[in-house]
Amino acid sequence: MNKKGILLVLSGPSGSGKDTVLNELAKDDGIQLSVSMTTRAKRDWEIDGTHYYFVTPEYFKRKIEADEVLEYTVYSGNYYGTPKAAIDEWLNEGKTVVLKIEVEGAANIRRIYPDAVSVFLLPPSMKVLEERLFRRESEDTEEIKRRLKIAESEILQAEYYDYVVVNDVLDYAVSDLRTIISAENKKTSRNKDLINKILKRI
Amino acid sequence: MNKKGILLVLSGPSGSGKDTVLNELAKDDGIQLSVSMTTRAKRDWEIDGTHYYFVTPEYFKRKIEADEVLEYTVYSGNYYGTPKAAIDEWLNEGKTVVLKIEVEGAANIRRIYPDAVSVFLLPPSMKVLEERLFRRESEDTEEIKRRLKIAESEILQAEYYDYVVVNDVLDYAVSDLRTIISAENKKTSRNKDLINKILKRI
């Protein structure tokens, strides 16, 4: 009797540290990161197939046509999407599948997977977020300002997520995600079989 | 800014180990057990004011008349209820208030406190439950049979609870409750102020 896995949707503004947190979480047993696909340019430190599948707009559009993209969104002129293929397979194997997803995409996922658990990763403050973007964007202040505005509007969407986790100290944020996954595994809705087993109905 | 505490409702059949689990949990900081009131006879190992307030039927009825009982239920001919007084005060202080409550009572609490988190404590199996009752009830097999029947009907109500925790190894069950409380503290609905604070709206 294989218990179905949890689909965990993680969103957060640029600079909230989604990748760093997920890289740590991915080391745990039973965690399966779903890698998104994007047409945006790869950053130096990013690895194709790990952080994203970096593809051409033509390739992305062909995948959409073939109905092989679970959801996608256009953000800053680039496509971001979730390849369908493996997700249901992993869930049936009982894995916790983690989707890193833009705010808009998350709403779509929740429609398709109502059981999905959604977590919004918050920066400890807008000041800290600004500093992080400053380090990453190498002093393009206009771009930083623009990203901060976007971040603000994204954080306003946090209320539609099930949980919020503040990424101040990395270890704590990762541990919060583990706690959420453990608790979700105790949800009654995920344990009907267990109850029936105790009552010897299955 | 004091974050409001969580009201945790714990139910489980006789023999599921509610008291043992709660005695451990109560050692944690920020946990406040709400002690129920009952008219049933005190068991040898029970302490008045710790496990229950043991009162007379007359006293119990007077408290109901005075509207000082949050909810009550009659079970096996005895009254069980929750004294109102301190609960809201503790919640406002940010404490996690734990109510040990009969299955019927739990439904009432959820109506009065829709934010309450409900946990059903399960025995690992009906066989183990029988053994536990056998040890406790000192071989009154008729009474054990009766209690097992009640237990079965109670476990059927588990599906109305938010979480289920199996009490096989005590430490694991206590740790599961801690995990649930931690995760619930990350729920977005309990962190609106945090989001607004990050956006500097408060």
Read off the pTM: 0.86
Chain B CB within 8 Å of residue A184 CB: yes
pLDDT at A27 over 80: yes
For B25-56, b where at least 16 C-beta lie within 10 A, e where not — what string?
Answer: beeeeebbbbbbbbbeeeeeeeeeeebbbbbe
Q: Which residues of A touch B201 (CB under 8 A)?
A: none
**Any A CB within 8 A of B202 CB:** no
Q: What share of chain B is helix, strand, coil (3-state, %, to 5)?
A: 45, 20, 35
Contact partners, residue A98, CB within 8 Å, separation at least 6:
A8, A10, A22, A25, A26, A31, A32, A33, A34
Q: What is the CA radius of gyration of chain B?
A: 18
Contacts of B105 (CB under 8 A, 6+ apart): B11, B71, B72, B73, B80, B81, B82
* Structure tokens given for B48: 């008045």
Residue A148 and residue A138 in contact, taking contact as beta carbons nearer than 8 Å: no
Q: Summarize the confidence of residues A110-117 as an average pLDDT.
A: 90
The residue count of chain A comes to: 202
Superfamily holding A7-198: P-loop containing nucleotide triphosphate hydrolases (3.40.50.300)
> If you average pLDDT over every residue of chain A, what do you get?
91
The confidence band for A202, taking pLDDT boundaries of 50, 70 and 90, is: low
CA of A156 vs chain B CAs: smallest distance (Å): 8
Which residues face A8 on adjacent strands?
A: A98, A117
Q: What residues does each domain of chain A span?
A: 7-198
Ramachandran bin of A200, using left for φ above 0, alpha for ψ from -120 to 50, beta for the remaining angles: left
Per-residue model confidence as pLDDT tens digits over A140-183? 788 889 989 999 999 999 999 999 999 999 999 999 999 999 99
Contact B15, B151 (CB under 8 A): yes
Could you read off the pLDDT of A84-105 as tens digits, one per residue? 877 888 999 999 999 988 888 8
B183 vs A122, A179, A192: nearest CB: A179
Q: Return phi, psi of residue B13, to 5°.
A: -65, 160
Separation between Cα atoms, residue B66 and residue A53, nearest integer Å: 67
**ipTM score for this prediction:** 0.84
pLDDT of residue B149: 94
pLDDT for the residue numbered A140: 79
From A162, A133, A167, A165, select the one nearest A150 (Cα to Cα): A133
Which of A85, A87, A84, A90 minimizes the C-alpha distance to A30?
A90
DSSP string of B136-197? HHTT-HHHHHHHHHHHHHHHGGGGGSSEEEE-SSHHHHHHHHHHHHHHHTTBGGG-HHHHHH
**Helix H or strand E encompassing B53:** strand B52-54
Query: pLDDT of chain B along its 202 residues, tens only?
Result: 468 899 999 999 999 999 899 999 999 999 999 888 999 999 998 999 888 899 999 999 999 999 889 888 888 899 999 888 778 889 999 999 999 888 888 888 888 889 999 999 999 999 999 999 888 766 678 888 998 999 999 999 999 999 999 999 999 999 999 999 999 999 999 999 999 999 986 6
B49 three-class SS: coil
Query: Which of A152, A164, A166 is nearest residue B188 as measured by Cβ atoms?
Result: A164
Q: Chain B, 143-182: which have a CB under 8 Å from a chain A CB?
A: 152, 155-156, 158-166, 176, 179-180, 182
- Neighbour count for residue B67 (Cβ, 10 Å): 8
Distance from CA of A190 to the nearest CA of B (A): 9
Instruction: Tell me the shortest Cα–Cα distance from B63 to chain A, in angstroms.
Output: 34
Per-residue model confidence (pLDDT) at position A30: 94
Contacts of B168 (CB under 8 A, 6+ apart): B124, B128
User: A200 and chain B: CB distance < 8 Å anywhere?
Assistant: yes
